[in-house]
Amino acid sequence: MFSCLAKAILTRNMARLREGDYRPLLRLDARDIRFRFPGDSSWATEIDNRDDLERWLQRFVATGLKIYPD
């Protein structure tokens, strides 16, 4: 049951992100979140707080990128 609920919440929040609203996704994250986006591009980062993640997500939305969970 929990996996069904988690999937529904993630699906909804990722759809909102694709529409330009990152806030529902961010609300689920702890203040001391550890987030890593690997690679050598300008997107590569290691973040250890929600405020920095919010700035990263704002940039993500501003560029118009779309992501779909698998």
Q: Please provide the DSSP assignment of 27-61 as one string.
A: HTS-TT--EEE-SSSTT-EEE-SHHHHHHHHHHHH
> What average pLDDT does the segment 24-42 reach?
96
Higher pLDDT, 70 or 18: 18
Residue 69 maps to a domain: no
Q: Is the pLDDT of residue 43 over 90?
A: yes
**Number of structural domains found in the chain:** 1
Residues 6+ apart with CB under 8 A from 20: 61
- pLDDT reported for residue 1: 63
Write out the residue range of the structural domain in which residue 54 sits: 2-63
Residue 68 maps to a domain: no
37 strand-pairing partners = 45
> What average pLDDT does the segment 19-43 reach?
96
Total-model pTM: 0.85
69 close to 17: Cβ distance less than 8 angstroms: no
